[in-house]
Structure 1
């Protein structure tokens, strides 16, 4: 168990003291014990202080996954600063915005992004030094070795921010969620309890560290002292091979990655015997991919729902619900709240709690919550209530058994003739059709009903979309007011850099000159 008064720094020191020679981290050919990791972090802390970086300052990383990013987060925790991890998939203007918004004073850059950083250099308002990491131009190792390990940690409070992850919103610029010692360690403790993670386990960090599913998963392992095996990129075949080679016990993947894994030649013959828990989430899981994953991996799946603002996971649907045909309807749920999390569904307009199966906005209360959005007090006040509830912005309901169903973003809800229609429910039905590779449902204007659903679909390879066949399938499985009236066949759906569909772009041509109702 994690000491409730622990900080990230005190926890790392404890592992280094109690288990100095146990392996803490693997990354390719790199191996670090807990004592080695601790020493490197404290050398980095000294180096940062020599650069004049101290409490309240921000540094940033623009790189694929690399141990330096985790070391930098830990060093920031030691000196009272914070690491703003940049989404490398963003466009250059967005990368520039994030670094400047964070007011980062130091920028670590991987070799793949050296050119982009050089082009942005003159526009970086606060960056005093760009430090190349990895490759032939590496300066990071010399940066560490030039300094002795620091012996004086900043007296951090549990609500001090040490990692700043930027939300991947589908509108506007990202917001920096300030994640604290207490919140991150609470998440680590809660998830470890429900997923039975022990110090002897091995955690695969497959997702990018700019994502909460990457950084928080690494700190989940750190919380228990489990070994971290980090991948630079989420390559499907390499991640599957890593399971048997490294004895992976726990991992987190996204549905798109799992879909690719089920298509890897020879995937069924690989060794998954060590694997106990596959968490998946961050985007809807198509039922065909879920069925293929269950066939490939067996009863090891945990569907998770979470958010950056809560350091990661807040609900889980466990293996027993994946395996029992009698509760197959739960496969479209997000499961139940994990340990330490309370969830209610509230009326988005009044904030009043709603009853069983009544649709509304999902509210979350937990000690995993961020301390707020960096330099955005109005956005923080809009997201977190004075009594500590996070308004997720997601629509959903809770059934009589306590299972949470996440239907859609509140802003994407379609109001047709006074009925609330959640696009995700329609998308799940249409995604089952073999001709469909990708689907998004939006609301478009209608003179009689105000707005009605429209399906935007992408054909599967080698297939041809028959709009009438899709509409017939919808009528077979959905209430009439939920059925799309029309189908648009597109080459691809617009997405943001983290893969979220930009429904605003799909809606825009239909609502030009009109005002769409929002909640």
Structure 2
């Protein structure tokens, strides 16, 4: 943290932006696709957007929504909506049209900002978006005719609504749910401010540093991480896509601190000496949101001896990060085993390891479900009080659904997953959603979706199916069947055919048995 950032703890999401607009108005705040905004300019845009939203009738308790690839407008919308007591529901731009329909309707969004590249997806389901009163289109480059830029130019700026409270929801991030449909995770301003302060522990921006924001903003790792630069008054370089050329361009433009999924490391190391040299300019490489194969991590540590590596573990329901493994621990010859840990809880976080059957706390070193308590714990799942009650106890503990242990030194090891979730390249993929689609294929008798290890993505989706007697289907046919209804990243990358799936005496499919042959030689399973 820069010395000038030692300020009173903020209460609201837009406080630090207002501070830097006052203190360093002409300094660089954000660069994106060749455009740069100062702190004063960015603050003015947020205030104008708040004015435009208010003119549309948006206020406390309302929801607006954003659908595009990475774009500073998403951050502006989050800050502007929060200042009115409203929330931004950020939609995964990789979703199919039917999935967009579900998320936007479930959130109750009244205003939808959508990138022109994705406008066709929205138009295909526009008549089904029952709550949306206005759609505003925006272009990647803000060219003439950009409806969003025109909206800002014609709006009167307004300050934060005095009725807004820290507990007001400011973000709705969609995470997979028990029915196979995503659940809207409600994160308050107090949640997000706490995360910015606590997950920031151990970071040390120096004068001249720039923050690279490349994680998708629909992912909590993107929308939480972008607040680091705003908190410290450090300029951010945002990429529209997390592809190699965009990342290298941002680094060449001076970005030297970042958070990315492990798959990027694999891609860079496989790209040759020139790519490795470019990424060697990074002072900090924070990674998480997917399993990191230990050989890949060791290769990265060796390739970039001057880079500080920080591993983080967390969930959308805690705003992102809840434990971290710091740089010194990545290069500690006395404790190499800690490389497969998730580190220690961040400030403000408590951890318990609980017996799944009895609910009792387990001794040090025993495996059980990981529970966390923190001011970062979500306020709940949107419109789903029963699902909320299942994961948040009356005394505020969040049940992660992940299995792990804590050692005598307080290091958390995450080893398996109670939730039937696959994490591929940082994307949460929920198996029943895919199973529901595959089960509709006429040849499929039964199906189980599992995650299998992948050197690039951490995990990929594998379908294990049995067919009805006399029926035939190919792997390509089943994958294509999924692609008609699901985002491509959710679709199986491989299909295995069995005569029958293994089941326990009560008839439940034994997914652990299906996964076991693939995970035997891996150091971590999450």
State the shift of 1:220 in Å.
2.0
State the alpha-carbon separation in 2 of the partners of residues 143 and 157 from structure 1: 27
C-alpha spacing 1:457/1:190, structure 2 compared with 1 (3 Å): closer
C-alpha spacing 1:174/1:34, structure 2 compared with 1 (3 Å): same
State the alpha-carbon separation in 1 of the partners of residues 490 and 244 from structure 2: 20
> What RMSD in Å do the two structures reach over aligned CA positions?
3.3
State the alpha-carbon separation in 2 of the partners of residues 190 and 460 from structure 1: 31
Q: Which residue of 2 aligns with 1:129?
A: 134
Q: Secondary structure at the match of 1:104?
A: coil
Stretches of structure 2 that go unaligned for 5 or more consecutive residues are 1-5, 424-430, 432-448, 457-474, 513-526
Q: Deviations over 1:64-122 (max 9, x none)?
A: 00011111001001111110000112222221111000011111111221111110101
Q: Which residue of 1 aligns with 2:349?
A: 341
State the shift of 1:192 in Å.
2.1
Within the candidate set 384, 389, 394, 2:392 is matched to 384
State the alpha-carbon separation in 1 of the partners of residues 138 and 162 from structure 2: 26
Q: Which residue of 2 aligns with 1:514?
A: 507
1:90-489 to structure 2, matched below 5 A, reads 90-134=95-139, 138-168=146-176, 172-197=180-205, 201-246=209-254, 248-265=255-272, 266-270=274-278, 272-273=280-281, 275-298=282-305, 299-411=307-419
1:24-43 to structure 2, matched below 5 A, reads 24-43=29-48
Q: Which residue of 1 aligns with 2:427?
A: none
State the alpha-carbon separation in 1 of the partners of residues 164 and 451 from structure 2: 50
Q: Secondary structure at the match of 2:501?
A: helix
Q: Deviations over 1:258-279 (max 9, x none)?
A: 2112122411332634x32211
State the alpha-carbon separation in 1 of the partners of residues 382 and 333 from structure 2: 45
C-alpha spacing 1:288/1:398, structure 2 compared with 1 (3 Å): same
State the shift of 1:2 in Å.
5.4
Residues 361, 393 of structure 1: 8 Å contact kept: yes
Q: Which residue of 1 aligns with 2:465?
A: none
State the shift of 1:181 in Å.
1.2
Please report the TM-score for the alignment, with normalisation by the length of structure 1.
0.80
State the shift of 1:360 in Å.
0.5
Q: Which residue of 2 aligns with 1:89?
A: 94
State the alpha-carbon separation in 2 of the partners of residues 411 and 456 from structure 1: 12
State the shift of 1:303 in Å.
1.2
State the alpha-carbon separation in 2 of the partners of residues 288 and 501 from structure 1: 27
Q: Is 293-302 or 79-88 further displaced after alignment? A: 293-302
State the shift of 1:507 in Å.
11
State the alpha-carbon separation in 2 of the partners of residues 289 and 25 from structure 1: 32
Q: Which residue of 2 aligns with 1:445?
A: none
Q: Which residue of 1 aligns with 2:76?
A: 71
State the alpha-carbon separation in 2 of the partners of residues 113 and 199 from structure 1: 38
State the alpha-carbon separation in 1 of the partners of residues 450 and 58 from structure 2: 51
**Using CA pairs below 8 Å that are at least 6 residues apart, which structure has the higher relative contact order?**
2
State the alpha-carbon separation in 2 of the partners of residues 83 and 30 from structure 1: 24
C-alpha spacing 1:390/1:121, structure 2 compared with 1 (3 Å): same
State the shift of 1:240 in Å.
2.9
State the shift of 1:249 in Å.
3.3
Q: Secondary structure at the match of 1:388?
A: coil
Within the candidate set 12, 15, 18, 2:17 is matched to 12
Please report the TM-score for the alignment, with normalisation by the length of structure 2.
0.79
State the shift of 1:194 in Å.
2.1
State the shift of 1:456 in Å.
8.2
C-alpha spacing 1:22/1:458, structure 2 compared with 1 (3 Å): closer
Residues 2, 185 of structure 1: 8 Å contact kept: no
C-alpha spacing 1:459/1:84, structure 2 compared with 1 (3 Å): closer
Residues 502, 510 of structure 2: 8 Å contact kept: no
C-alpha spacing 1:324/1:231, structure 2 compared with 1 (3 Å): same
State the alpha-carbon separation in 1 of the partners of residues 42 and 136 from structure 2: 20
Q: Deviations over 1:347-385 (max 9, x none)?
A: 123322111111100111111121111111111111111
C-alpha spacing 1:459/1:408, structure 2 compared with 1 (3 Å): closer
State the shift of 1:344 in Å.
1.4
State the alpha-carbon separation in 2 of the partners of residues 168 and 292 from structure 1: 33
